[in-house]
Structure 1
Amino acid sequence: MMKSSFLRTLLLVAIMAFAGRTTCAADNGGGTFTAGKKTFLLNGKPFVVKAAELHYPRIPRPYWEHRIKMCRALGMNTICLYVFWNIHEQREGEFNFTGQNDIAAFCRLAQKNGMYVIVRPGPYVCAEWEMGGLPWWLLKKKDIHLREQDPYFMDRVSKFMAKVGEQLAPLTIQNGGPIIMVQVENEYGSYGEDKAYVSAIRDIVRQSGFDKVTLFQCDWASNFTRNGLDDLVWTMNFGTGSDIDSQFSRLRELRPESPLMCSEFWSGWFDKWGARHETRPASAMVAGIDEMLSKGISFSLYMTHGGTSFGHWAGANSPGFAPDVTSYDYDAPINEYGQATPKYYELRRTMEKYSDKRLPSVPKPATELISIPRFSLNEYAPLVFGTDSMCVARSPLTFEELDMGWGTVIYSTSLPEINTPSTLAMKDAHDYAMVYVDGRYIGRTDRVRNETTVSLPPVSRGSRLDIVVEGMGRINFGRAIKDFKGLTGEVTIMANVDGDDVTWKLNDWTMRTLPDSYDHALRAFKRFNDGESMGLKLDSRAGYYRGFFNLKKTGDTFINMETWGKGLVYVNGHAIGRFWSIGPQQTLYVPGCWLKKGRNEIVVLDVAGPVMAETWGQDRPELDKLQTEKSNRHNNPGDRPDLNSATPAAAGQFAQGRAWQTVKFNAPARGRYLAIECSSTHDGSEIAAIAEIYVQDTDGRRIDRSSWSTKYADSEDADNGNHTGDKAFDLQESTWWSTTYGASMPHLLVIDMGAEQTIGALEYLPATGQDAAGLTKDYRIFVY
């Protein structure tokens, strides 16, 4: 009797467990996901995608499942992820899908936890990731055409995609797995117009095993038709505060029966070195998701959890050069270290309204937060002891020509006799270059600040010039992704000798490579301790530092780097990420799963040298503390042009509304500087705002903006959303330049185009956010 009762109880428990389990495939082991009439269909039934974007390389593997559970408790039903080509094929032909790179295991964890998966394999992904996910070694072929039908590029894409197919094609929903959709390329309309190329990528994706799964492509509402393919699902990307209906209006016209999806709804934004930490209001994010769900519109929240760009994987943005910080917190609902924010709980309350069952409980943090007392890093090895190889060449070679992906190169040559002060010019030093003469530090150039010259003292013939060049993340967006590192152009010295301007081109270089790796750091300490001679000495505190700290318990912590200069950190052999004293990020996230009870090691490579070689662990991050040498604003009175007597190239009134507008000039205008004067707005406010500006040549073609920079802005709202002048030409329609409240009209923005241009028209996009002020009415445009 008792045995029978016990068996009935076990059976009841098993039935209840099965009934409560969410599955990601049909009962026969396979299923379907298709685009139906105005809705997606999952196994033939209407389905709204509620996706959370997560990136497996930005989350330590021991925390993968916790982050997935956090997304499910938020009310999401799908995980959306990029596949990062360059982390899987770091050397040509050497593929790695194991450990932290085991993307199939990540997808299986999603399925285990009742989540579907959307895969975005690129080959280009952007994501504020090194070179947008493309491998650095592609640049060893200097004439390569990236993201085009370059034979070598397409061959390597095919090989990579085949490897992705081996990992993930067995996990499509048709095969009983969680993958319901696969993306073709990524936001190609922001790069160019080439349907033949996009079609070729589509074919490669299909041939890689994704021939039955639903394929889609994403772009912005302003450009998605340029490369839209008839046989793919079209989705839109836009951010918090956008007018939802207007974002889909064109798609509704062209495909009235198509399901609607925002494949990237931006919850926040990414941070750049030297600029304030980016945030976006929770209320605007939640309102947008509420509106989409009320209208049956699918979405993916980019990012739901951003994580960390560990090691050297943070990229950089363009125009100009704007490297991204290590933290990819993104002001997301789940913060960098995996904890729920107030934004999370506000969104969860809205998501509950659209769930037919009670949401799972919010998981406890994966680990506790700990602090570590201040300690010193007493071991030291000078920078040169990290040398991996030496090479001699007539002209300086790039990192890629030296067969190095990431790190630092010391370039050395002899100087001519110059008896007067001179100017060293390095127009194409990528990215941060420190200059030494006979071992003594002289100065530096910084690509971020567009610095290209250093003043030299008088020098004797044969004096040694050493230039230490650190490469930061390669540009990840726009045409500038072909971003070589090191001294990428000639180096010259200019001086006035006896009344004549004289220029010397420097040749005959010795180059020492210092790759970014923990093993090379350890070798530097061994060489130094063994008394090896490296044949070079720099009078500097730059180099490798090592220290130790003891823990009675482990947990997540944040290593403070405020007393250090610029470089990288390793903890217990794990590459933690880049630091830079300018901020805004002053701490580096160290996951507790990479720490251990007892003795822990920290190694710091500082290419500039610390103020104090000490650090400590905090129980909270510091992501918004700037320590720049000068303001990030562009309001120097000396840079303001006198336009009182100047003749504008165009003047008039912009139409009311938030769509693109084009102003054609009556006659071509030539000059290096573009000035836009805003003297009134349609809403009567004194706020001026511009989301994007392009200029066209006399044939109507857009002129390249990669060398643009802000020359002057009478007002910039740098403290409330980073609305600085560069936002008017940053290739992002969802960010904008805005003046501050209280600054009176007229407002002026002046752009340095880098060289003289002949302009026939200007394209203008007002701030696109619904809550954005500053719809300019009366304007004048000057070119000088």
Structure 2
Amino acid sequence: MVVLRIRNVHKRKYAFICVCIAVFVVYRYLSVPGPRGRRMSRKLGLSSNTSQFTLAGEPFRILGGSIHYFRVPRAYWRDRLMKMKACGINTLTTYVPWNLHQPERGVFNFHTQLDLEAYINLAADLGLWVILRPGPYISSELDLGGLPSWLLRDGSMRLRTTHPGFAEAVNTFFDKLIPKVVPLQFKKGGPIIAVQVENEYGSFAKDQGYMVFIKEALQSRGISELLLTADNLNTLKSGGVTGAIRSVKLQKLNQRGIQDLHAIQPNSPAIVMDYWTGGYDVWGDLHHLLPPEDMVSTVREILRRGMSVNLYMFHGGSSFGFMSGALADPSYRALVPSYDYDAPLSEAGEYTPKYHLLRDLFSRYSTGESVPDMPALHYREAYEPAIMYQHLSLWDALSFTEGPFKSAKPINMENLPVNNKNGQSYGYILYETTITSGGLLKSCDNVRDRALVFVDRSYIGLFKRRSLELAVPDGKGRRTLSLLVENCGRVHQGRDLDKQHKGLVGDILLNNIPLRDFTIYSLDMKPSFIDSLYQAPWKTLTETPSFPGFYMGRLFAYGYPSDTFVKLPGWEKGAVFINGLNLGRYWSIGPQQTLYLPGPFLNSGINQVIVFEEQEGDYKVYFEDTPDLGMAVDIQ
């Protein structure tokens, strides 16, 4: 009898434990902590069925900010998101750059710096909701608006349409991307409360069926949260799609535009999906600033009207390497690598006057939740200059490129047979041919975007968008004519995305006769190429080194490396590589005068510094503790 009674007790305990586990599982996956720590139902996501958003059935206002994981060193993700949280923001928004995640057909990268899932999970851990903006086109001032350049290998390609070649490529990318984010949706226990359908399609609008195609591509793969579109006020009507609420992008409140938004969707909540906190810069112009008072007064008015808002950018970061895009209207202008954007959090993660004003404003809308303390800032250091002690001419580096390739006519960058026949995306390309006379060289506007011209490796002049002719000196016998062409960045917006081929896009004429029989070298300057140069025949730097060329020096960082800023007085134009990583372009015309070098990019001890300089170099590279983005002007 005693034994039976003990067994019954164990059975009752076991049954009780099983019930508890079951209740916990249901509770865990159907409800999670809300903004103030209490639990909320996961059955109802973000809803726009009334004039105010609701989340889990309760009133909710989006206080959002944009930070792009691909523009911030992964080691600093947590720091930047904690600073966002401490500003009173409740929602993180981020674009997803197709060109970085799929650099070649069939090749996908969602690791390390591009680990989108880790980024979204980190946001959740810190108590931030997420609005995902997966494109496929994102603009974001990226080369080709974030579309991969290998799409342009198709001569009939029509980007951002239902053209079969583009639709097939989008479907292939979404087959990889969307399953990664589906489990991270709100109703499945994750932080994603909304997903944007494409971006600014109202300003493009070449295909009436395109937005329906993108919406269905998202939903058919499991996206079930609220959908939205985002357009400028003047293109709102042509950018939407049934089943997605419309949002606006602006920097100044326009009463008529807001009225138009309410007229289009009278019973939906209004959201400024991109309130531009500043702006981007182009080479040869000034550094653009938006006064803090102007910014906060507009945000205050948006909130006073009961609208939701997302700050673009809250923290801009950097377009490292050759990521930056370009403008086409009214003329071609390439963007600088800094994406500081005059945002509330600076390029290096520093607090600005805008940050403090916003923190004070948002704290009034925190619905009872206290705003966290502001995280401490990272130390910045002015390291000793790196003395350039070795030199490698461009011509001596050619044997380390992929190729060379022979072609009767010029081949543009995208159609080169490199990178597993995906073409070349970024960097430089060298075309060489033989000439037997001097005369007048004409580019016929076929140089994209800038070409240094050499005869027998001696510099004779420059082709730019507006300089279309060049005199070639007379000489005896057969000589080598070389054109080093730089892709300065593909246009990131506008209706001519299909026409963004780079390199030589047509014939170059000498005395009105097309040049023929080219030898072509691909100089994409990827990390693998820079690393291979360590085996090249470097020479001790002389007082008269040749250009273009590579220069090598060392930066010593003892202890835990700190953030710093690279400055190159006396250098003309090129790119800087630290331990093989491309920080970005520099150019003496400004406005940007320093390149941000995050501490996590450095090793404790010796760091290799390589500078590729096109025309005029110095012997030193300086490292300062403050940025210099150039002479500033207020945004009008």
1:429 is aligned to 447
What is the aligned counterpart of 1:51 among 64, 69, 92? 64
Q: Which residue of 2 aligns with 1:491?
A: 508
- Match of 1:400, SS? helix
Q: CA deviation at 1:721?
A: 3.4
- 1:283 to 2:293 alignment: yes
1-structure distance, mates of 2:61, 2:33: 20
CA contact (8 A) 2:270 2:308 kept: yes
Alignment correspondent of 2:212: 199
Tell me how far 1:432 sits from its aligned partner. Answer: 1.6
Distance 2:293 2:520 in 1: 53
Deviations 1:256-281 (A, max 9, x none): 11100010000000010111001111
Q: How many Å apart are 1:167 and its aligned residue?
A: 1.2
1:344 aligned to 334, 355, 361, which one? Answer: 355
CA contact (8 A) 1:31 1:175 kept: no
Q: Name the structure 1 match of 2:520.
A: 511
Q: Tell me how far apart the structure 1 counterparts of residues 616 and 74 of structure 2 sit (CA, whole Å).
A: 32
Distance 2:558 2:538 in 1: 31
Amino acid in structure 2 at the alignment position of 1:408: Y
Partner residue of 2:137? 124
Residue 412 of structure 1: aligned partner: 432
Q: Does 1:600 align with 2:607?
A: yes
CA distance in 2, matches of 1:21, 1:178: 11
* Aligned residue in 2 for 1:629: none
In the TM superposition, residue 459 of structure 1 has moved relative to its aligned partner by: 3.9
Look up the match of 2:550.
544
**Alpha carbons of 1:575 and 1:422: their partners in 2 closer, same or farther (altered >3 Å)?**
closer
Deviation at 1:193, TM superposition (A): 4.3
- Name the residue aligned to 1:188: 201
| Aligned equivalent of 1:264, options 271, 274, 292 | 274
Equivalent residue letter for 2:506: G
Instruction: Name which of 581, 587, 599 aligns with 2:588.
Output: 581
Decide whether aligned partners of structure 1 residues 493 and 117 sit closer, same or farther in structure 2, where only a CA change above 3 A counts. Answer: same
Q: Which residue is equivalent to 2:12?
A: none
Contact 1:543/1:605 (8 A) holds in 2: yes
CA offset digits 1:441-469 (Å, max 9, x no partner)? 1001123xx32222222244522211111
Q: 2:228 corresponds to which letter in structure 1? A: F
Between 506-515 and 302-311, the greater mean CA deviation after superposition: 506-515
DSSP 3-state at the match of 1:373: coil
Preserved CA contact (<8 Å) 1:372 1:618: yes
1:80 is aligned to 2:90: no
Equivalent in the alignment of 2:616: 610
2:268 and 2:40 map into 1 onto residues whose CA distance is: 28
1:524 deviation in Å?
3.0
Instruction: State the match for 1:393 in structure 2.
Output: 407
One-letter amino acid of the counterpart of residue 374, structure 1:
P
- The 5 Å alignment of 1:104-119 reads 104-119=117-132
Flag the 1:457–1:287 CA change in 2: closer, same or farther, 3 A: same
Residue equivalent to 1:441? 459
Q: Secondary structure at the match of 1:720?
A: strand
Cα distance in 1 for partners of 2:457, 2:608 equals 31
Equivalent residue number for residue 219 of structure 1:
231
Compute the displacement of 1:46 (Å). 1.2
2:262 aligned partner: 252
Matched with 2:485 is: 469
Q: By how many angstroms is 1:349 displaced?
A: 1.4
Q: 1-side partners of 2:565 and 2:141: how far apart?
A: 22
Any idea what the Cα deviations from partners look like across 1:632-672, whole Å, max 9, x if unmatched?
xxxxxxxxxxxxxxxxxxxxxxxxxxxxxxxxxxxxxxxxx
Answer yes or no: is 1:306 the counterpart of 2:316: yes
Q: 2:155 corresponds to which residue?
A: 142
Aligned to 2:529: 520
Q: Write the deviation string for residues 16-44 of structure 1: whole angstroms up to 9, x where unpaired.
A: xx999847996566651111210111001
> Is the alpha carbon distance of 1:311 and 1:478 closer, same or farther for their aligned partners in structure 2, counting shifts above 3 Å?
same
Q: Is 1:152–2:162 an aligned residue pair?
A: no
Partner SS for 2:513:
strand
Q: Is the 8 A contact 1:25 1:177 kept in 2?
A: no
Name the counterpart of 1:103: 116
Which of 486, 491, 497 in structure 2 is aligned with 1:481?
Answer: 497
CA distance in 1, matches of 2:92, 2:301: 21
1:721 aligns with 2:634: yes
Distance 1:440 1:24, change over 3 A: farther
2:81 is matched by which residue type in structure 1?
I
Paired position in structure 2 for 1:233: 245
- Measure the CA separation in 1 of the matches of 2:441 and 2:117: 54
Secondary structure, counterpart of 2:385 in structure 1: strand
Question: Is the contact between residue 319 and residue 337 of structure 2 (CA under 8 Å) also seen in structure 1?
Answer: yes
Letter of the 1:233 partner, please give it. Answer: I
Select 2:474's aligned residue among 433, 458, 466.
Answer: 458
* Corresponding residue number in structure 2 for 1:324: 335
Deviation at 1:161, TM superposition (A): 1.3
Which of 356, 361, 369 matches 2:380? 369
Name 1:647's counterpart in structure 2: none
CA shift digits 1:383-427 (9 cap, x unpaired): 131432111111100111112222211111122434xx5243341
- Partner letter of residue 381 of structure 1? L
Contact 2:392-2:539 within 8 A present in 1 as well: no
Q: Structure 2: how far apart are the matches of 1:605 and 1:426?
A: 28
Change (3 A) 1:20 1:368: farther
**C-alpha distance in structure 1 between counterparts of 2:228 and 2:208, whole Å:** 14
Cα pair distance change 1:25/1:156, threshold 3 Å: farther
- Equivalent residues of 1:50, 1:78 under 8 A apart: yes
1:757 maps to: none
What CA distance in whole angstroms lies between the structure 1 residues aligned with 2:356 and 2:480? 60
What amino acid does structure 1 have at the position aligned with 2:264?
A: L
- Between the aligned residues of both structures, percent identity stands at 33
Note the C-alpha offset of 1:179.
Answer: 0.3
Q: 1:388·1:515 contact (CA, 8 Å) conserved in 2?
A: no
SS of the aligned residue for 2:415 comes to coil
C-alpha separation in 1, matches of 2:435 and 2:36? 70
* Partner in structure 1 of residue 4 of structure 2: none
Distance (Å, rounded) in 1 between the aligned partners of 2:181 and 2:379: 34
Q: Quick one: structure 1 residues 24 and 567, their matched pair in 2 at CA, closer, same or farther if it must change by over 3 Å?
A: farther
Query: 2:5 maps to what in 1?
Result: none
**Structure 2 residue ranges without an equivalent (≥5):** 1-30, 417-422
- Alignment map for 1:631-646 (pairs within 5 Å): none
Q: Report which structure shows greater RCO (CA 8 Å, sep ≥6).
A: 2
* Equivalent pairs, count: 590
Partner-residue secondary structure (3-state), 1:161: helix
CA contact (8 A) 1:425 1:493 kept: no
Is residue 441–residue 508 contact of structure 2 (8 Å, CA) maintained in 1? no
Give the superposition deviation at 1:350.
1.5
Computed over aligned residues only, the root mean square deviation of the Cα atoms, in angstroms, reads 2.2
Give the SS at the match of 1:464: strand
Compute the displacement of 1:527 (Å): 2.9
Instruction: Pick the aligned partner of 1:89 from 102, 110, 116.
Output: 102
Aligned counterparts of 2:536 and 2:195: Cα–Cα separation in 1: 49
**Structure 1 residue runs without a partner (length 5+):** 1-17, 495-502, 532-537, 626-718, 723-771, 773-784
Structure 2 residue 348 is the aligned partner of structure 1 residue 334: no
- Check conservation: 1:30, 1:176, Cα contact below 8 A: no
Q: Per the alignment, in what secondary structure is the counterpart of residue 140 of structure 2?
A: coil
